[in-house]
Amino acid sequence: MNPLLQVRLSAGYPARPNILRDASFELRPGEILGLVGESGSGKSTLALAILRLIGYRGGSVSGEVRFQDRDLLALPERELRRVRGREIGFIPQSPLTSLNPALRVGTHFNEAWAAHANGALSQRRDRFLSLLDSVSLPAEDALLRRRPGELSVGQAQRLLIAMSILHQPSLVIADEPTSALDVVTQSDILKLLARLNRDLNMAMLYISHDLLSVSSLCHRVAILHDGAVVECAPTEQIFRAPSHAYTRRLIEAIPKNPW
């Protein structure tokens, strides 16, 4: 099977020019690949670099990001805007700060829809309500009229997931999507992501420092350390027989059940 996404890039910021140094990995269609690294290792920088959004934070990127036989780093910005949101969805890590508090839920959906599609208002509404139902939110007009401040953190995260799959992308990049959630809600979100992957055959780059969530969700795992991917293997192999010394340190650091 040909890779859906092939990444080989370097990226950084003026104050930290070498956060990523020739970081490389591949992602297959329908696969969930976990990208694991400690805080500050460059995981979120990699996500922004793939989407070429790093420039909005003063950063720069070089290398190659091949997605469906196109190098995203070489595309004109106008063409890249057609890819972001439509072909590649993005789930940020801070649900409430990622939504505009002044806009209603329906307006968020409408703006995301209008960026890539046309259609009658009734057609949009049916799609929005269907998406709400698919992420276990009430499929009601009342929810579309609410503002982000009226949602719980878990509801806001489900809303971001619904918006990320609005145009049925073949790939979703999820950047620490459970880091702001309590343990029970984390479990619910992981089950939701697994179901969407299964039902939609949607590939996912799942970025996290939480090895336990990665072990339960991902088919393969890539380990990011010192600016590079030092190991990439099936999940079972990573947890049972890691080959790199840094990966072994990560696995050994998982808290053991004291009971």
Class of 5-102+171-252 in CATH: alpha beta
Confidence grade of residue 257 (pLDDT, cut at 50, 70, 90) = low
Q: Of 15-29, 178-192, 235-249, where does mean pLDDT reach its minimum?
A: 178-192
pLDDT in tens, 82-126: 999 999 999 988 888 889 999 999 999 999 998 888 777 677 889
The answer to whether the beta carbons of residues 73 and 5 sit under 8 Å apart is no
Average pLDDT over residues 14-35: 95
Domain boundaries defined on the chain: 5-102+171-252
Question: Which pTM does this prediction carry?
Answer: 0.93
The answer to whether the beta carbons of residues 214 and 34 sit under 8 Å apart is yes
Strands 60-67, 5-13: parallel, antiparallel or unpaired by DSSP? Answer: antiparallel
